[in-house]
Amino acid sequence: MSTPPSRPPSTTRSAFVMGVRRAYPCPTVEDCDKWLRALSEALRGTTDEVERARIRADIDAVLERRLRLKVA
């Protein structure tokens, strides 16, 4: 089981502009829940709009992964 960092990993602006999402290892629904909590906390802790947009995209990616795991 992976442990989410206190802050999500950073990415380059060009990768974000191209729509590349950061990878979050969540092989189980519980792992996805941990990442979602960590990302939500990071979102609350930042005021930079570019970083907030990145975090929101990451949250969307983890939610999609979580949904796929629950359906499977």
Give the model's pLDDT for residue 49: 93
Q: Where do the H-state alpha helices sit in 1-72?
A: 13-17, 29-44, 49-71
Ranges in the chain, pLDDT < 50: 1, 5, 7-8, 11-20
- Measure the CA–CA gap between 61 and 67, rounded to whole angstroms: 10
Residue among 65, 70, 62 nearest 38 (CA): 62
- The pTM (predicted TM-score) of the whole model is 0.67
For residue 65, how far is the Cα from the chain centroid? Answer: 10
